Amino acid sequence: MILLEAEYHLQRMRELYLDNMMHFKYELNAFLFNARSIPDVLLEDFNKKFSLGINSDKKINSSKFEKIAYQLNNIQALTFLLWWTRYKNTNIVSNQLFSMLFNKRDILINEKMIESEKLFETSIFVSGEWKVYDEDGNLVTQTTQKPMKSTKNDWFFTDYHDINVLESCEKLFETLRIFIEEAKNQFMENIL
């Protein structure tokens, strides 16, 4: 369900991209909230599948999951947790882009709005000068270069310029989709 919600917000982001920054930011905020929740929801789902009995009214974390699995001597649950931790650390935490996106979600909640992200839009003019403006219309940089034949506006995170905001979120979504798919493929069949 949470993956479907993230996918919904990602689709809305595609529709709004480069057209309506304010509404795009709302969808980005919701997408990041859902995306960040996916690893924890996966733990909750497997808590139920392995019959660990951890109270779902409280947030489940890996330490709590491990403690109960050890107490119950549930080897399948411990094997899942080891896989879950490795996948998360290898594919999300150690990835600069995904780690940044997970941290952005935390900042958004603490600071109430995505303004801390400072997305910016670039505007390139073919008048002999190249100018980049932020979302408020303030000039960020200006250089004189040979005029460009084609122009493109795009939005980037200020602390990650390798790919644009939408592509960043699409890559994160695909990694999380594979996370869920692999968990189901490897561990759903083995549950008694």
Q: Give the range among 26-30, 113-117, 120-124 with minimum mean pLDDT.
A: 113-117
- Quick one: 138 and 50 in the same domain? no
How far CA 39 is from CA of 6, 65, 77, 88, 129, in Å, comes to 13, 13, 15, 8, 46
Cα 104 to Cα 89: distance, rounded to the nearest angstrom: 18
State the pLDDT at residue 102.
86
Mean pLDDT estimate for the chain: 80
70 domain-assigned:
yes
Q: Give the range among 98-107, 115-124, 168-177 with minimum mean pLDDT.
A: 115-124
Residue 11 is part of which domain span?
A: 2-116+163-187
Tens digits of residue pLDDT in 154-190: 777 777 777 888 999 999 999 999 999 999 999 986 5
- Quick one: 95 and 152 in the same domain? no
What is the rounded (10 degree) CA torsion for 157, 85, 30, 17?
40
- Quick one: 24 and 50 in the same domain? yes
- Quick one: 76 and 15 in the same domain? yes
133 domain-assigned:
yes
State the pLDDT at residue 137.
63
- Quick one: 62 and 146 in the same domain? no
User: Nearest-CA neighbor of 33 among 8, 64, 63?
Assistant: 8
- Quick one: 106 and 129 in the same domain? no
Number of structural domains found in the chain: 2
